[in-house]
Chain A
Amino acid sequence: MKRQPLRSRELGGADPLDTQLGLPQQSLWQRLKLSRLAPHLQRRAALGLRPGIAPAVVLVPIGFLLGPQVTNVLSIEVLAHLQVGISIGLALLGIFIGRALAREAHHLRALAAGNIESAMTIGIVAVALWFLITRSQVPVGADAVLVALCLAVTAAASSGHTADPRSDPAARVATRVADFDDLLLIAVGALLLVFIRGSYGSFSPALALAPVGIGIVVAIAGLLLFEHSDGESERGLLVLGAVALLGGASAYLMTSPLAAGLVAGLIWTLVPGRADEVLTREAHKLQHPLIALLLIAAGAFFVPHATVWWLLVPYVLFRLVGKILGAVAAAAMLPGIRTFELAGYLVPPGVIGVGFSLTFMFALPSDAGRIVVSVAAAGALLSELLGMFLIPAAPHVDGTAPPAPPAPAGGATA
C-alpha cells in the first residue's frame, strides 16, 4: 500500500460506497442547470455536498425537524440509543485529529499559532458568557462557570477551509492552524468533563487519565490486528471495532472520546507500519454516516428555550471576536497569510464543537446540557453561514478562480 501524503484530517469528499457503485452522475447543480453558480459558492467538500454548503447548514435543521420539538420521529428514547453513534463518531474525529497532528507536528509555528488562537477564543467566549450569565441571572441549569466554559470549548473549534491541493497557500496554512487548534480544546474539554463529573457525582482524579489509557490500550490492540488483517471485510470490521471500543469505553466512563481517539490516532500514525494506512482507508467509510449522525442528533436535541436565544447572539459574536483576535496573534507567527484571511478561514466551526457539546450534554444536568447543545448547534449553523460570506473564494495557486468541481473528491477538515 503506497503511503499517501495527508493534508488534513481528511474529512469530506465522496462517500466510498458512492465511488464503489460507480454511479457518476451529473451533480444536482448540473441537473438544475445551475452549474455556473458553482464557482461562486464555497468549495467545501464535507459530506460530498459540494459545491458549497457545509453539512451543519443542512443536517442540523433536518435534525431539528425530526426531533422531539417538531415531528418527534427522533424521540428522546431514540436519541438515547443514538448516544452510541455519537461517542463512536467523536472517537473517529479524535483519530483523524491525532493523525493530522502526528503528521504535521513538525510545523511547530503552526502548532503554537493554532493553540494560541484556540486559547484566546476559549478565554474570550468563556469570560464574556460567564459575565452575561451572572449579570443577567438567566437560568442555565448549572454553575455559570461550567456552562460558560463548555460553550467556550465548543466555540473554539474551527474547520479550516479545504484540504484540496489546488487551493491557495493561505488556505493551506489556515487548514493547518485549524487542525492544530483542536489540540488545546480537546485537552481542556477532557479536563472539563472530569470536573463536571466531580461536580455532579463521584470523582476520581485517575479518571482524568482514562482517555489516555483507553487510547493506548486500543491502539496496541489495533497495531496487533490491523497490519495482519486479511481482506477488506476483515479490515473494516477490525477498524470499526477499534473505533467502537474507543468511543464505547469513553462513553461508559463519561470521559472524552475525542481525547481517547486522539491518543490512538497519534500512536497509530507515529508507530512504524501500515496500521495508519489500513485505518485511513477503512475509517473513511465510516465518516459520512457518523458525522451526519452527530449533526442530526445535535439538531434533534435543540430546544427553543428563551435562554438559548439569549445566549446565541453573544456566543456567535464573541466567537467571531475570539477568532479575529486569535488570528491576529497567530498570523504574526506565520508567514504566507494575512490576519483577515486567516480569521475568515477559521470562522466555520465544523463538527467538532457540536460533537463536544453532545459529550457535555450527557455529563451536565439535563437542562444545562440541552442549553449547551442548542447554543452550540445553532451557533455552528450561524457561524457556517457567516463563513460562507467571510471566506474568500479559494483561487488556484496561479491566482485564477477554481472551476466547478466535476465530482466530489479530496476533503475538507471537520
Chain B
Amino acid sequence: MRRPIALLIVLALAWSVVNIDAPEGAPLRVTGLALGVALIAAYLAGVLLERLKLPKVTGYLLFGLVCGPYLLNIINRPMARELQVFNGLAVALIAFIAGLEINAARLRPRLASIAQLGAVVLATMYLVLFAVFWFAWPWLPIEPDAPPALRAALAFLLTSVVASFSPTVTIAVVAESRSAGTYTETSLAIVILADLILILMFTLAMELVRWTGGGSAQQVGLLAAASWEIIGSLAFGAIVGALFSFYLRSIGREVTLVLVGVCLLLSIAARALHFEPVLAALAAGLVVENVAPPEGDALKRAVERGALPVLVIFFVAAGASLQVDALATIGLVALAIAVLRGVLAWGGAHLGSRLSGQDGPVSSMLWMSLISQAGVTLGLTLIAAQEFPTWGVPFQTLMVALIAINQLIGPVLFRNALARAGEIGQMDGGAARPH
C-alpha cells in the first residue's frame, strides 16, 4: 500500500506545481520536474503492472502515454519535449551498454548464419512490402495520383521506412530485463544489421524520389553520404571507445564523470557531424569490451546496475511522445500496414531460420523482436516530410500512427519472447524471471 500512496503523492505534487501560477519562463525549467515524476511514478506504475503479470516496460510506456500530453497532460508538452532532449543521452548510453554486451570472439562462429538470416528477413520484407504498396498505392493517403516512376520511388521510400526496426528499443528491453543468450544476441545482431541497411536504402530511395519527382539530386554523392553516415559513425565511435579504454587503463579516476562526458560526446558531437549516434555509441562500447576486457567487464556490470533510471526515462519519453491523434485520423490504414509488417516479420524470420539452420527460440520467436519502431524511423520520416511537404505530411502522419502501434506492441512482445526463451536475468548469470 505504501507504493500506491507514494505514487499518488508524487502525481499530486507534479499536478499542484504545474497548476500554481508559475513565474514567466517556467516551461523552460520543467525538465527536472519531468525527470522526477517520470522516474518515480513511472517506475512505480511498472512495478504495479508487474503484479498483474505484465512487463514493467509496458508500465513505463503506458505511464508516458496516459500521463502524457494527449491524455491526462500531467507530463505536458514542454515536459515531453524536454524528456526527448534528455533522450539523446539515454540513447547513447543504451547503445553503449549494447556494445559492451557484444563479444566479438563469442559471436564470430555464428556471424555467417546470422547474416544469412538477416538477409532473408529483410529481403522478404522489402520485396513483399514494395509489391503491396505498388499495387495498393491508389488507396494509400500519399500522393495517390503520382505518375508510375514517382509512384515506384515513393513505394520504395515507404517500404524502406516501414521495414525498419528499432535497435534502441530492442537494446533497452534487453538492458532492462538483463537478458543474455543466443536469442538475445541474434535479435540484437539482426536489428543492428537492419539499421545499417535502412540508412543505405532510405538514402537511395530519397535520391530516387528526387530524381523521379523532377528535383535535382544532391551535390554530395549517394554513396558518399551513406558511407559517411555508416562508416563515419562506426569510426567515430571506435575512436571514442579506444580513448575511453585508454583512460580506464591508465587513469581510472572519476569514471562516472568521464562516462557521462563520453555519452554526451557520442550524442551531441555525432549529431553535429551527421553521424548516427546509435551506431557510434555501439561501436564505442564494442571497442571497450573487446580492447580492454577486464576493465570493460567491470564497467559493464557497474553501468548496467546504474542504467535503470535511464531506461525508465527512455520508455516514458517514448510513451509520452506517442501521437495518438494520428491514430484517430489514419488508424485503420496504419493498423493494416502494421498487421502486414508483423506477418512478414514472422514469415521472413521462419524462412530465414530454416535456410540458415537456426532453430529453437530464434526460429520461433525472432519475429517478436522485429516489431518495435521508434526514433530512427521517425527521424527519417521527418526528413522526407520536410523536403517534400506536399506528400510528406500525410506520409509522416501515416508513419507516426504506425510507429505508435508498433511502439505499444513491440516491447511487450519482445520481452515476452525473452521470458519464453529463458534469457531474462541471464546477464547476471542468474535464473530467469517469469516477467
Give A residues with C-beta under 8 Å from B. 15-18, 20-23, 25, 28, 47-48, 78, 80-81, 83-84, 87-88, 197, 201-202, 204, 210, 214, 217-218, 220-221, 224-225, 228, 232-234, 236-238, 240-249, 251-254, 285, 288-289, 292, 362
Contact = CB atoms under 8 A, between A and B. Distances in A.
- Which 8 pairs show the lowest CB-CB distances between chains A and B? A248-B32, A245-B36, A241-B39, A248-B33, A23-B252, A244-B36, A241-B40, A84-B31
Given A237-B312, A249-B33, A285 B257 contact: no
A245 B306 contact: no
Q: Is the interface of A mostly helix, strand, loop or mixed?
A: helix
Interface string B242-258: 00000010111111110
A88 B36 CA distance: 10
Contacts of A236: 305-306, 308-309
- Residue among B22, B34, B306, B307 with the highest chain A CB neighbour number at 10 A: B306
A225 B306 contact: no
Given A225-B6, A234-B308, A21 B252 contact: yes
A115 B260 CA distance: 37
19 contacts: A15-B253, A15-B254, A15-B255, A17-B302, A18-B255, A23-B295, A78-B268, A221-B10, A236-B309, A237-B309, A237-B312, A238-B39, A240-B309, A241-B35, A245-B36, A248-B31, A248-B35, A249-B17, A249-B36
- Residue among A87, A210, A289 with the highest chain B CB neighbour number at 10 A: A289
B92 to A, nearest CB: 15
Contacts of B9: 217, 220-221, 224
Interface of B: 2-3, 5-6, 9-10, 12-14, 17-18, 20-24, 26, 28-40, 43-44, 82, 85-86, 248, 250-257, 259-260, 268, 295, 298-299, 302, 305-309, 312
Contacts of A88: 32, 35
B13 A214 contact: yes
A23 B32 CA distance: 33
A251 B257 contact: no
Contacts of B21: 202, 204
B302 A15 contact: no
Contact of B298 (A22, A217, A221, A292): A22
A318 to B, nearest CB: 31
Contact of A224 (B2, B12, B14, B259): B2
A350 to B, nearest CB: 18
Nearest to A20: B302
B309 A289 contact: no
Contacts of A243: 36
Contacts of A81: 31, 82, 85
A237 B43 contact: yes
Contact of A48 (B24, B28, B254, B268): B254
Contacts of A238: 39-40, 43
A78 B38 CA distance: 22
Contacts of B36: 241-249
- Residue among A22, A23, A197, A247 with the highest chain B CB neighbour number at 10 A: A23
Contacts of A221: 6, 9-10, 13, 40
Contacts of A15: 253-257
A18 B5 contact: no
A224 B257 contact: no
Contacts of B305: 232-233, 236
A245 B10 contact: yes
B30 A252 contact: yes
Nearest to B88: A81
Nearest to A14: B253
Nearest to B5: A224
Contacts of B6: 221, 224-225
Nearest to A27: B253
Contact of B22 (A214, A233, A252): A252
A252 B18 contact: yes
B1 to A, nearest CB: 9
Contacts of B308: 233-234, 236-237
A142 B417 CA distance: 62
A225 B35 contact: no
A45 B196 CA distance: 46
A309 B253 CA distance: 35
Contacts of A245: 10, 13-14, 32-33, 36-37, 40
